[in-house]
Amino acid sequence: MVKLNGYVINLDRSENRLASITSQLAEIGWFDRFQRFRAVDGKFEGPFDNVGENCVWACRRSHERIIMESDQDAATIILEDDVELSRYLPEVVNEGMIEHIIGNHPGIDMFFLDCAPFYDQVPQLIRAAERGLSNRAKADSNSADRHAVTGLSFPNAQTIYAFCAAAYVVTPKGKATLRKLFEAGHDARYPIDILYRDWIASGALKANITVPFLATARYMSPSTIAYQELDQSQQLNQRSVMLTSAIRRLLFAGNPALDVNAIEPLLCESRDSSEYRLGMRIYESLWSDPQ
């Protein structure tokens, strides 16, 4: 059976984050499975004159080093230290399930426990999460089991994964694949998740996604990367970031913990045609039909 180990990427200056993720790992019985990986800190080292670019490089370097230096015969869970873990995570990610996944997807290199999806995939992902978290639709569900995982989708990431590398699993095959891709050399300014996105899109890297998400960052969790120091063209639109963060929370197998009143002002009135709106209602009705 394939071995399974795990790493939490954590900066020396992020003590509160380490305490939070350590507590969560203890709660789900995974404290002994993980070890802390001392993150490369772009605030103090890096190849560029810009601290923002160094932070992006350092994040990528931390992910690369875990993949290159960890046991090459083991599957490895990589977590960034600001994620929230679903209490159902150990039921899905364990040695037996990893063996099953590799057996049914022999070419798989990695699978993501969370991601920021391409916008056009959101309706299908929300529907898949609704199927996998069926207790959410039951009026009498209590808080203890409302977010229980009752089913899991495992779609191919190629048309879904846009960015984010906060929580994922790399298989032994995936480590060999990534080692070759890393060694091929790429612009050091490329973030790790954009490399993953491009390799997945090209077919060089075979990846899937667990839906519902089994880990995700808390809503608008502050980043340790100095994005404000990047060139304006490299900065993300804040409204898009906030809405994407909300979508990730809605896809999470746990309490979304969203303030709907705060999100509502970010939403725009529909500018779509009456045909589109009717089509979407038909789409929902077809999915909802038990027949």
Query: How many domains does the chain contain in total?
Result: 1
- For every residue of 117-161, which 3-state class applies, written as one string? ECHHHHHHHHHHHHHHCHHHHCCCCCCCCCCCCCCCECCECCCCE
Alpha-carbon gap, residue 116 to 128, rounded angstroms? 15
The neighbouring-strand residues paired with 170 are 76, 110
**Does residue 85 belong to any structural domain of this protein?**
yes
pLDDT at 238: 83
CA distances (Å), origin 189, targets 38, 51, 57, 239, 290: 21, 12, 6, 24, 49
- The secondary structure element, H or E, covering residue 238 is helix 238-250
Q: Which of 220, 211, 215 is nearest to 266 (CA)?
A: 220
Q: Extract the tokens encoding 200.
A: 């997945």
Does any domain span residue 279? no
Q: Model confidence over 215-264: pLDDT tens digits?
A: 999 998 877 776 666 665 555 678 899 999 999 999 999 999 999 999 99
Task: Give the domain CATH number at 75.
Answer: 3.90.550.10
111 with 207: CB under 8 angstroms? Answer: yes
Eight-class DSSP state of 204: S
Tell whether 146 is covered by a domain: yes
Alpha-carbon distance values, 284 to 169, 228, 279, 281, 289 (Å): 32, 40, 9, 5, 9
pLDDT at position 186 over 90: no
| Predicted confidence (pLDDT) per residue in 112-153, tens digit | 999 999 999 999 999 999 999 999 988 777 777 899 999 999
Q: At 46, is the pLDDT very low, low, confident or very high (cuts 50, 70, 90)?
A: very high
The model's confidence at residue 271, banded by pLDDT at 50, 70 and 90, is confident
> Looking at the domain assignment, is residue 234 inside a domain?
yes
Exposure string over 1-13, b if 16+ CB within 10 A, otherwise e: eeebebbbbbbee
- d(CA 232, CA 219) in angstroms, rounded, equals 23
What is the sign of the dihedral through the CA atoms of 139, 142, 143 and 149? Answer: negative
- Residue at 16 is within a domain: yes
Q: Mean pLDDT for the chain?
A: 92
Partners of residue 116 on adjacent β-strands: 163
Structural domain boundaries enclosing 157: 3-260
Pair of tokens at residue 270: 């529909």
- Within a domain: residue 98? yes
Tell me whether residue 212 is in a domain.
yes
3-class DSSP assignment, residue 207: strand
Give the β-pairing of 83-85 and 161-163: unpaired
> What are φ and ψ of residue 68, in 5° steps?
-75, -30
The neighbour count for residue 291, using CB atoms within 10 Å, is 3
Print burial letters for 100-137: b (CB count within 10 Å at least 16), e (below 16). ebbeebeebbbbbbbbbbeeebbebbebbbbebbeebe
In a domain, 231, yes or no: yes
Q: Which amino acid is at 103?
A: G
Q: Which of 236, 192, 211 is nearest to 78 (CA)?
A: 192
